[in-house]
Amino acid sequence: MEPNKSIFIATAEPFSGKSIVALGLVDMLLARTQKIGYFKPIINHEPAVKPDSHIETLIGYFKLPLQIDKTFSYTREQANVLAQSGMQNEIIDNIISKFKSLEAENDFTIIEGSDFLGEGTAFEFDANLAIAKNLGTPVIIVASGDGKSVSQICSSVNVTINNFLQRKVKVIAVVVNKVAEADLETVQISLQNQIQTDIQLAVIPKITELKSPSMFEVKEHLNAEVMFGEEQLSNRADHFIFGAMQIANFLNHIKQNVLIVTPGDRADILLASMQASLSKNYPKIAGIVLTGGFEVPDSVIRLIQGTNTLIPILRVEEPSFYAATKVAGIHSRFSPSNPEKIHIAINTFRKYMDMEILEKNIASFIASGMTPRMFQYQLVSWAKNKKKHIVLPEGHDERILKAADRLVRHGIVNITLLGNLDEITSSINRLGLSLSLENCQIINPQDSVYFDDYSNTLFEIRKGKNMPLGVARDLMTDVAYYGTMMVHKGHADGMVSGAVHTTAHTIRPALQFIKTKPGISLVSSVFFMCLPDRVTIFGDCAININPTAEQLAEIAISSADTSAKFGIEPRVAMLSYSSGTSGTGEDVDKVRAATHIVKEKRPDIMVEGPIQYDAAVDPKTGKQKMPDSNVAGNASVLIFPDLNTGNNTYKAVQRETGAIAIGPMLQGMNKPVNDLSRGCTVDDIYNTVVITAIQAQE
C-alpha cells in the first residue's frame, strides 16, 4: 500500500492559529524530504490584489519552489458564488484536480483549510469536510482557546472532531491554541478524557510574541507614514496606550514593548517617549503613532534627528480615537520579513507537540538525499540531544546577542557572554531580548574568580617560550584568551568568536594551549554548503594558505571524518585544474600525491583526484571524464588545493546559487573553537554555535 503523502490542517473558526501548525509541519517535513507542496484550496483574495499571508510566508521563509497559481483553487468569493449556484461538485472536482497535480510534483503535501473570515463560514466548514474526505487525507484540527472557558473549549473541539469522524475522515491530532496559562493542565486532562485515545493532543498557551503585531504591521494596517525608525519596524507592540495626559502621569503607564498613540501636536508626549526609550530606567518602547495629521515642528524634528537611537515614529491623518480603534483590531500575521517570529512559532510547536509521534501518525516515507532543511533540522536536534555550554567572547556585539538570545530561547545550548556586565545588560534591554543572568552567564574577565588561576595556567604553559607572568595576566584580559582558557579548563565546551576579531586573533590562543588532536599536525576548516538540493562540504576555505601534499591529505581525511559525523556520506573529490591523468605540473602533481596518501592512510575513504569541479559535482560531466569513478559526479566533500581557490569558490557558489554557507568549522583541535567572518549575520552565528555544540559532544 502506498504511504500517506498529505495532511489537512482544519479549523472551524477564524484566527485559530493554523499558521503555527503549518510552519511546524513544513519545518519537520523538510528535514525528511526536499519536495514539500503546500495547498490552500480556498484563499481569501486574488493573489494579485492581496497575497495570502500564509502561502507567502511559507514559500518565502522556507524557499519552497512553488508557483502561487498552483497553491490554490478558488478565492472565497468565487467558491461562494459557485456554491450558491449549486455547483459544489464542480468546486470539489477542480480542487481534486489541482491537488493531484501538485501532489504528483512533491513527496508530501500539506493542505490548509480556509480561514472562516467574512460571509459564507457555514459553507466553508462543509467545504473543508468535503475536501478532506474527497482527497482521502487525514486531518489535524486546530482550535482556539482565546477568551473561552474550559467547557467551551472542550465543546468546540468535540463538535469539530465529531463532524469529521461522521464523514469518516481520520483525525490524527488536535491542537488547541491560545489557552490561558492557568487552564493549560485542565484543558489537557479534560480533552484527554473525552477524545479518542488514538487522536494526538497538543495544548498550547497564549504566546505574547506571536499575538503581538510588529510596527511594520501597525504601519500597514494604518496606512501610516514612517517619519523615523524604519529600520526598527520589526519591533513588537505588545500593548498600546493613548498619550493624552500630563507627562508625569503618562510615564507611569509605559510598559515593555508599548505602542504610544498620541496627537501629532503633543510634542511633549513625543519627546518624553523618546527620552524614555533612551533611559535604562524605562522599558523598551515599540513605537509611536502621531495622529491628526499635524506637522511636527522643525525644532522637534532636528532634536529627534540628533539622537543615536530611534524608535519607529509613524504619522496618520485620522484622529486619535479612530487610529487607536484600528490598532486594537490588528490581528498579527507571520511574514518572511520577520524570521524571529517564525522561529518562535516553530519552536512553540515543537515544544508542545510530540514530534516523533506526530511523524509516525502522519506518514512513513523515506526520501533520498540530504536536503539543506533536513541538515539544519538534524543539526539542531543533535545539538539539543546533548546540551553543551558555549562561550561567546564578543558579548558587546548586537549580532552575537541576538544569536545568543535565539539559542537560549530554543534551548539548544547554554551560553556565556564575555564583556562588561553593565554594557551587555544595557544592550540586551535596548534590543528587547530575553537574555538575563538567569538564563545566560555574563563574565568580565578582569572581575572573574578564575582570573588568577587562568593567568597562572597560561604562564605555566608558555613559560618555556619565555612568557612572564605579567604578560600572561595581560593576555588573560583579552576575551579571546579568556574564552579559550574556559574551554581548556572545561568550564565551557566550545568557543565561537570572530564577529569582531580576526581569524588569527581567534585561533592563536587555541593553537597555544588547546592544541591539535593526537596524530593531527594542522588545524583546517570546512564549510557546510547548503545548496538548493544537497549539502556539500568544502575544505579548506579559511585557514591553510598553500598546504603541502601531506597537509592536503590530512585536510581531506579530517573533512571526510567530519562529513560522516554530520550524517553526510563522504565521497571525497581532490580538486585541481585537470581530471585524472590528463594534466601535468607542480600544482596537479601535489593533488595527485595527496590523493595517493589518503588512499594509503585511509583505504576506507572513497576519494578521487585530481578532478575538476564540474566533473566532481555534475553526474553527466563526471561520467564523461571519469566513467570508472564512484566519486565523479557525486562528490559530497570537495577539497581545494589552496586557500585562494577555496575561499573564492565558496563565496562565488554562495553568491550565485543563494546557498547557505555554515562555517567555517575548524577541525583537528582537541576541543572545538570556531571562527566567524567579521561580516557574519545572526543566522551565521546561530549555525556556527550549533555545529560547535555538536563537535563538543565527541
- The confidence score (pLDDT) of residue 1 equals 45
d(CA 572, CA 607): 4
The per-residue pLDDT for range 599-621, each reduced to its tens digit, is: 999 999 999 989 999 999 988 89
- CA nearest neighbour of 372 among 46, 615, 687: 687
- The confidence score (pLDDT) of residue 3 equals 67
pTM of the model: 0.66
Its CATH architecture, for the domain 375-514, is: 3-Layer(aba) Sandwich (3.40)
Average model confidence (pLDDT) for the chain? 89
- The confidence score (pLDDT) of residue 478 equals 93
Helix (H, G, I), strand (E, B) or coil at 424: helix
d(CA 130, CA 291): 47
The packing angle between helices 18-29 and 355-362, to 10°, is: 80
Alpha-carbon distances of 421 from 56, 444, 451, rounded to whole Å:
41, 7, 16
664: cis peptide before it, omega within 30°? yes
- The confidence score (pLDDT) of residue 378 equals 81
The per-residue pLDDT for range 320-334, each reduced to its tens digit, is: 888 888 888 888 888
Average pLDDT over residues 277-286: 90
241-254: buried (b, 16+ CB within 10 Å) or exposed (e) per residue? bbbeeebeebbeeb
628: cis peptide before it, omega within 30°? no
- CA nearest neighbour of 343 among 367, 372, 377, 368: 377
DSSP 488-546: HHTSSSEEEE-SSS-HHHHHHHIIIII-BPTT--S-EEEEEEEETTEEEEEESSSS-SS
Domain with CATH 3.40.50.10950 in the chain: 375-514
Strands (E), 256-381: 258-263, 285-291, 313-315
User: Is the confidence at residue 568, as pLDDT, over 70?
Assistant: yes
- Which pLDDT band, with edges at 50, 70 and 90, does 119 fall under? low
The per-residue pLDDT for range 633-645, each reduced to its tens digit, is: 999 999 999 999 9
589-628: buried (b, 16+ CB within 10 Å) or exposed (e) per residue? ebbbbbbebbeeebeebbbbbbbbbebbbbeebbeebbee
Domain with CATH 3.40.50.10750 in the chain: 524-668
Cell 513625543, located at residue: 270
Grid cell for residue 30: 523538510
The packing angle between helices 76-84 and 88-104, to 10°, is: 140
* Other Cβ atoms closer than 10 A to 450: 16
Domain 6-207+338-362 top-level CATH class: alpha beta
- The confidence score (pLDDT) of residue 120 equals 52
d(CA 173, CA 151): 19
610: cis peptide before it, omega within 30°? yes
- Which pLDDT band, with edges at 50, 70 and 90, does 2 fall under? low
Q: What is the DSSP letter of 236?
A: B
Average pLDDT over residues 375-387: 87
Domain with CATH 3.40.1390.20 in the chain: 215-328
Helix (H, G, I), strand (E, B) or coil at 330: coil
- CA nearest neighbour of 138 among 22, 43, 9, 42: 9
- Which pLDDT band, with edges at 50, 70 and 90, does 368 fall under? very low
Q: Are strands 524-531 and 660-667 parallel, antiparallel or unpaired?
A: antiparallel
User: Is the confidence at residue 166, as pLDDT, over 90?
Assistant: no
The per-residue pLDDT for range 48-95, each reduced to its tens digit, is: 777 788 889 999 999 998 888 899 998 888 888 888 888 877 788 888
Per the DSSP assignment, residues forming a β-bridge with 388 are: 413
Average pLDDT over residues 622-639: 91
The per-residue pLDDT for range 245-266, each reduced to its tens digit, is: 889 889 999 999 999 999 988 9
The per-residue pLDDT for range 176-216, each reduced to its tens digit, is: 999 999 999 999 999 999 998 889 999 999 988 888 888 99
C-alpha dihedral (450, 456, 461, 462), degrees to nearest 10: 120
- The confidence score (pLDDT) of residue 257 equals 92
- CA nearest neighbour of 296 among 323, 245, 262: 262
Grid cell for residue 164: 469529521
For residue 224, what are the contacts with CB-CB under 8 A and spacing of at least 6? 218, 289, 314, 315, 316
CATH ID of 524-668, from 3.40.50.720, 3.40.640.10, 3.40.50.1820, 3.40.50.10750: 3.40.50.10750
With contact defined as beta carbons under 8 Å apart, do 323 and 192 qualify? no
- The confidence score (pLDDT) of residue 132 equals 85
Q: Give the domain 215-328 fold.
A: 3.40.1390
Q: Are strands 42-43 and 606-611 parallel, antiparallel or unpaired?
A: unpaired
User: Is the confidence at residue 118, as pLDDT, over 70?
Assistant: no
Domain with CATH 3.40.50.300 in the chain: 6-207+338-362
- CA nearest neighbour of 98 among 78, 132, 71, 65: 71
d(CA 288, CA 115): 31
With contact defined as beta carbons under 8 Å apart, do 97 and 25 qualify? no
- Which pLDDT band, with edges at 50, 70 and 90, does 234 fall under? confident
Q: Are strands 313-315 and 225-228 parallel, antiparallel or unpaired?
A: antiparallel
Strands (E), 139-284: 139-144, 171-179, 200-205, 225-228, 239-242, 258-263
How would you classify residue 26: left for phi > 0, otherwise alpha for psi between -120 and 50, otherwise beta?
Answer: alpha
CA angle 233, 496, 548 (to 5 degrees): 125
Sheet strands side by side (includes 441-443): 441-443, 413-418, 388-392, 494-497, 673-675
User: Is the confidence at residue 366, as pLDDT, over 60?
Assistant: no
User: Is the confidence at residue 369, as pLDDT, over 60?
Assistant: no
